Chain A
């Protein structure tokens, strides 16, 4: 069982949080701000004592099998028992509301290489959602007026980042056309060519969602994240947010990265076949050279909107502010209005044209 890392304010003893605006740790009680690196050093001094305190005594409280798929922690502030998913890496104590980070989830081999800290706060996410609904057509009116923002949470989502040189070998059939005509016939001359290309193309940090809790399409839709803001992982950044450790292994994630890389590599090499009227791929092979991967936590705001008992999930990139999410749409109404409206407009044009021509 893991331990909890709770970052306490050296000033007043309150639990500190990572502040997205100042990019520093901040105590919500006494407003004192601390540098992440300084706090980390301070924590290292007392880390041993933290790990020793809570472990063995709690273990016997649970029957075997009872805690499958979940972990039990004890809150450092109020000694309350926190039950969380086995993958949860950071959460809020349900009793005292303090932000807690499960230290064991991100230590040893599980330690992420990188983290992009949240740049945008909860308020920005709420505003972005409002903006997202604005100007959208064929959304049920009731949804706009009745929808309720049920939950909003900042989550560090585990991602595998794949970097490599894609080594490509591809062949194409290409054609050039020439047209001319005489008084009787039209002529088309087709010249066919066999094309071969080989070479390499580099890719950096192609992300694959490492969490089963997060839908893959939602995570790919909030892309891209910019690694220029990435910093070496420190648990301090997790304070105040939710965090999951990966539960999809790197081997399971690799095929998805390959798929995306292959498509881009093939597209890029096809673009090198120039000067033809048509190019048809015949065969293409890709191998990966110099491949390596990293483990990173990406900041995502998850906004759950409830309407008519259903939850609609929206996600905002915590770094760039890009917000995605499907809005309920009246498809039938859209088709009816489009089809019928267009036909009526066509009829009106006909009538006007008929009147003009008869003048």
Chain B
């Protein structure tokens, strides 16, 4: 009974301290009564946790305590429940006294955080040298599991919120946000090389493709790739600016960087259905066709060629190969038909057997023996039927999404 009373008291103290800390920070995701962390470290972790919560809808908490007498499980629950109403979440408690971990997972989040996942998160925590690094790693691991679970787009951009508050935050984490809606037009002439009227015409065509063929075809020019490879730049530009049509973000995007001979670079990246429509051969054909225009700085001509080829691919129609297939099939069927017609003209032929002279009912099988010899099992690996899997250019971009691409430097 005393234990229970004590627990309630401790809980009250925790709640109180949380309210205080809550007033100090926007949200409280880490609880450190024994001051293992500095206030700036706590602030940084809280920012990160807040960012995770904002785009996944999952609350992740952590607590370090030397508490001895209270039930640790109860402590984890109390810590979580007093701080948030979110029914998707987890709170892990590290008891520094008995060096044990305890955790509470909400009912809704049980599927998200099975024991194996929690243990993985704790391994990240445990294998770091400082408490700060460990807790940071814990949140990172948690993020990797909850990513993409739920993506309520917050009114205030969480990406910006985090970057503003925390300069030390690694950039890759802050840029992992893929917006649902496209932020930029389909033609972005950052290098300012396309004449304005031509740019307008290109944009009109791109917009028409999107509505007509449900595929975003985009054109981007830049003066530098911000230290990235052309491939990474194109992928990131595509992902973090929300390019792509529909649920699967189907699209193709060409990035061109003008320059002196040997410095010019072009990359075409594809995603979703774009990878199927603009497969490797098509992408390479597009680039080959564009290079003569690009080297003579006829950018209008280059991107018009790109759009022409894109339209050929997108236009519902039947590939020319079918013409040959149909003609060949027709010729074979035609020959079979006329062959069967002429065969009727030839009726003189030696008989193959004497079946018609078989004496009815005279078949008499006296010996019959079927002996089992052996069994052999052949294993044939299944063929991969996904086209884009056969595309050697398939890779994962920094956002974790799959892209295909081709490029050239000339």
**A interface with B by C-beta (< 8 Å):** 136-139, 165, 169, 174, 181, 183-207, 215-218, 220-221, 223-224, 257, 260-261, 263-264, 267-269, 272-273, 324-329, 331, 334-335, 337-347, 349-350, 353-354, 357-358
Q: Measured between C-beta atoms, what is the minimum distance from B42 to chain A in Å?
A: 47
Are B317 and A267 closer than 8 Å at their CB atoms?
Answer: no
Distance in Å from the Cβ of A339 to the closest Cβ of chain B?
A: 5
* Stretch of B70-78, B201-209, B324-332, B401-409 with 4 or more beta carbons under 8 angstroms from chain A: B324-332
Could you say which of B317, B330, B346, B365 has the most chain A C-beta atoms within 10 Å of its C-beta? B330
What are 24 pairs between A and B in contact, CB < 8 Å?
A165-B362, A185-B379, A186-B381, A189-B378, A191-B374, A192-B376, A195-B369, A198-B366, A200-B364, A202-B362, A221-B347, A260-B353, A263-B352, A264-B354, A267-B355, A324-B348, A325-B348, A339-B331, A339-B334, A340-B331, A345-B330, A346-B328, A350-B323, A353-B318
**Contact status A342-B331, CB under 8 Å:** yes
Residues of B within 8 A of A223 (CB): 351, 356
Q: In the complex the two chains form, what is the Cα distance from A194 to B332 in whole Å?
A: 40
Number of A-B contacts (CB under 8 A): 221
Q: How far is the CA of A312 from the CA of B5 in the complex (A)?
A: 120
Contact: A224 with B357, CB < 8 Å? Answer: yes
CB distance from B80 to the nearest CB of A (A): 39
Q: Confirm or deny: B2 has a beta carbon within 8 angstroms of a beta carbon on chain A.
A: no
Q: In the bound complex, how far is the Cα of B381 from the Cα of A24, in angstroms?
A: 78
Q: Which residues of the partner chain A approach B334 to less than 8 Å between Cβ atoms?
A: 337-343, 345
Collect the chain B residues with CB atoms within 8 Å of residue A335's CB.
335, 338
In angstroms, how far is the closest chain A Cβ from the Cβ of B277? Answer: 15
With A329-B345, A346-B331: A191-B375 Cβ-Cβ less than 8 Å: yes
Of B317, B328, B357, most buried by chain A (CB within 10 Å of CB) is B357
Q: Interface code B34-64, partner A: CB below 8 Å = 1, 0 otherwise?
A: 0000000000000000000000000000000
Q: Which of B289-328 touch A at CB < 8 Å?
A: 315-318, 322-323, 325-328
Find out whether the CB atom of B329 lies under 8 angstroms from the CB atom of A338: no
Give the interface size bracket for B toward A.
35 or more
8 additional contacts (CB under 8 A) given A205-B357, A346-B326, A358-B315: A138-B341, A195-B370, A257-B354, A272-B368, A328-B345, A340-B331, A342-B335, A354-B318
The answer to whether B357 touches A203, judged by C-beta atoms less than 8 angstroms apart, is yes
CB distance from B357 to the nearest CB of A (A): 5
Main secondary structure of the interface of A (DSSP, over half): mixed
* CB closest residue in chain B, given A342: B334
Chain B residues, Cβ within 8 Å of A200: 362, 364, 366
User: Is there a chain A Cβ closer than 8 Å to B344's Cβ?
Assistant: yes
Q: Does B114 contact A (CB under 8 A)?
A: no
Neighbouring A residues of B338 by C-beta, 8 Å:
137-138, 334-335, 337-338
Contact indicator B358/A188 (Cβ below 8 Å) = no
Are A220 and B342 in contact (CB-based, < 8 A)? no
| Docked-complex contact B381 and A185, CB < 8 angstroms | yes
CB distance from A199 to the nearest CB of B (A): 4
- The one of A137, A193, A203, A358 in contact with B358, judged by C-beta atoms closer than 8 angstroms, is A203
Residues of B within 8 A of A207 (CB): 357
Contact A350 B372 (CB under 8 A): no
**Measured between alpha carbons, how far is A199 from B366 in the docked complex, in Å?**
5
Bound: A138/B340 CA distance, A: 11
B330: contacting residue among A138, A202, A218, A344, CB under 8 A: A344
Say yes or no: is B377 at the interface (Cβ < 8 Å to chain A): yes
User: Are B332 and A342 interface neighbours, CB within 8 A?
Assistant: yes
Q: Does B100 contact A (CB under 8 A)?
A: no
Residue of B whose beta carbon sits closest to that of A201: B363
Check A220/B351 contact, CB under 8 A, given A188-B378, A350-B318, A354-B317. yes
Among B316, B323, B331, B368, which residue has the most Cβ atoms of chain A within 10 A? B331
- Indicate if the CB atoms of A181 and B382 lie closer than 8 Å: yes
Interface contact A136-B345, CB-CB below 8 Å? yes
CB distance from A315 to the nearest CB of B (A): 8
A342 near B350: Cβ-Cβ < 8 Å: no
Q: Contacts of A268 on B, CB cut-off 8 Å?
A: 358, 363
CA A353 to CA B320, docked complex, whole Å: 12
Q: Would A327 and B345 be within 8 Å (CB), given that A199-B366, A354-B317 are in contact?
A: yes
Residue B281 is within 8 A (CB to CB) of chain A in the complex: no
Chain A residues, Cβ within 8 Å of B331: 338-340, 342-343, 346
- The answer to whether A203 touches B359, judged by C-beta atoms less than 8 angstroms apart, is yes
CB distance from B31 to the nearest CB of A (A): 45
In angstroms, Cα B326 to Cα A328, docked, is 32
How long is the Cα–Cα vector from A335 to B332 in the complex, in angstroms?
A: 10
CB–CB A196/B348 < 8 A: no
| B326, B345, B364: the one within 8 Å of A138 (CB) | B345
When distances are taken between beta carbons in the complex, the residues of chain B under 8 Å from A169 are 367
Assuming the contacts A181-B382, A195-B369, A263-B353, asked whether A334 and B341 have C-beta atoms less than 8 A apart, the reply is yes
Q: B170 an interface residue at 8 Å Cβ cutoff?
A: no
Q: How far is the CA of A194 from the CA of B372 in the complex (A)?
A: 6
Are A329 and B342 within 8 A (Cβ)?
yes
Q: Is the CB of B380 within 8 A of A343?
A: no
Least Cβ distance of A101 to chain B in Å? 29
- Report if B260 contacts A (CB, 8 A): no
Instruction: Decide yes or no whether B373 CB sits under 8 A from chain A.
Output: yes
Complex CA–CA separation, A342 to B376 (angstroms): 45
Collect the chain A residues with CB atoms within 8 Å of residue B1's CB: none
Decide if B377 touches A188 in the complex (CB within 8 Å). yes
CA distance A194 to B369 in the complex (A): 8
Complex formed: what's the CA distance from A347 to B396 in Å? Answer: 43
User: Do B359 and A202 touch across chains, with their CB atoms under 8 A apart?
Assistant: yes
Q: B residues within 8 A CB of A345?
A: 330, 334
Q: B367 near A326 (CB under 8 angstroms)?
A: no
The 5 closest A-B pairs by CB, nearest first: A342-B334, A346-B330, A338-B338, A202-B362, A198-B367
